[in-house]
Amino acid sequence: MATVRSSLPHEDRTAAEPRENRLEPVVLAHIRQVNASVRLLRLNAMDPSHTIRFQPGQWLDTFIPGLPRAGGFTITSTPSDAKPSNHSLPYLELAVQKSSNPPAQYLSRPEHEILGTHLVVRVGGSFVWPPPHLGVSKIDRLILVAGGVGINPLISIFSHLVRSAVRPREIHFLYGTKAEPDLDQQSILFLPRLMDLVAAVAEPSNVTLSLFLTGLGNGDQGLVEHGKFPNRTFGRRITEADLVHALDGYQNSLYGAENDRQGTVVYVCGPPRMTDEFVAVLRKQPGMAAERVLCEKWW
C-alpha cells in the first residue's frame, strides 16, 4: 500500500476492510529520503500524551489538506512507537513511493513545502499480526516474504516481534528487491533496520534474513561477498525452492512435512504477480493449509 497500482481510489478499493472509528490528528514532523523514489515520513501525534492504537501490518487512511479523497499508506513503525515515552513523542512512520496518485504526489513534494503539515489519519486493514482466526500459541515458525515496497507491512510485524518477549520460536524473512545503481546498503528500503534487528537477536539461527537482489552487475557480487550485506544474499529472484527451504526452517524434515509444518504461518506482500504466484506455491505444499498463508493485495 506504499504505492497505488489500481485505478480505484484507496477508499473504494478497501471499502470492505475493517477501519477504526477514531480520526487521529497528526503533524508531518520528519522526512528522510531513502532513495530516488522512496522516502520515510514520521507523523507525530498532536497530543503528546495520546497513544495511537494499531496492529502491526495495518495501514492509514491519510487525509491531506485540499485533496478530496484519502490516500492509503502502510504503517512501517511498531505499536510501541505510537505510545508516549520519555525520549520520543508518539509517532507513526510511513514509507511513501513516488507515483501518480495525488496523495503520494503531495507527500513526495520538496521537504520545505510540506514539513509541518497537519494531517488526519485513520487506522484500518486486516493483514495484521497476530493473524486473525489463528491461535498464536500454536505458531512456532513465521515466514515473512516481501517483494519491493511490499516490505512495508512486514517490517512493522518483524520489528514488533523481534522486540517482543513473546514471539514464534523461528522467524525467517525473505526480502526480494531491485538493487540500486550504486549498491548502497542505505538506499535499499529498510535493509539497515532489518540487519540491526537480526544482529540483536540472541539466537541468530532462529531469526534469519535472506536478501535477494535483482539487477546486479558482474562486479557487484564481490561487494555482497565481503560483508556489506546479509550473509544470505543472492543475486537473483526468490524461487520456489527458497520458499520451501524457509518453510522447513532451513533444516531437513524430521517427521515429514505434514507434521513439521503444522505450526508454520507465512505472510506474503509484494507486486501482484509475485504475490499470486508465491501464495499458490505455498498453499500447495504438504502440511500448509490455505488459512496459514496470508497475503496483502494493495493494488
CB of 224 within 8 A of CB of 252?
no
Residue 119 CA to residue 90 CA, distance in Å, equals 15
In a domain, 131, yes or no: no
pLDDT in tens, 188-211: 999 999 999 999 998 888 999 999
Percentage, residues of the chain above pLDDT 90:
82
Residues 176 and 118 grouped into a single domain? no
* 1-50 pLDDT tens trace: 544 445 688 999 999 999 999 999 999 999 999 999 999 999 999 999 99
Among residues 70, 97, 124, which one ends one of the domains? 124
Q: Are residues 31 and 120 in the same domain?
A: yes
241-296 pLDDT tens trace: 999 999 999 986 666 667 789 999 999 999 999 999 999 999 999 999 999 999 99
Does residue 130 lie within any of the structural domains? no
pLDDT above 50 (res 186)? yes
Kindly report, residue by residue over 135-175, the tens digit of the pLDDT.
999 999 999 999 999 999 999 999 999 999 899 999 999 99
- Enter the C-alpha cell of residue 254: 524430521
Do 72 and 172 share a domain, yes or no?
no
Count up the domains in the chain and report the number.
2
Does the residue 226 lie in any domain? yes
Mean pLDDT along residues 225-251:
90
Residues spanned by the domain of 243? 136-296
Same domain, yes or no: 21 and 147: no
Supply φ then ψ for residue 44, to 5 degrees: -85, 140
DSSP 8: S
What is the C-alpha to C-alpha distance for residues 4 and 127, in angstroms, rounded to an integer?
17
Decide if 3 is inside a domain.
no
SS3 97: strand
Summarize the confidence of residues 217-231 as an average pLDDT: 69
Q: What helix, strand, coil percent values describe the chain, rounded to 5?
A: 30, 25, 45
Q: Cα–Cα distances in Å, from 257 out to 138, 242, 247, 251, 264? A: 16, 16, 9, 11, 11
DSSP letter (8 states) at residue 156: H
pLDDT at residue 202 in the model: 83
**Length of the chain (residues):** 299
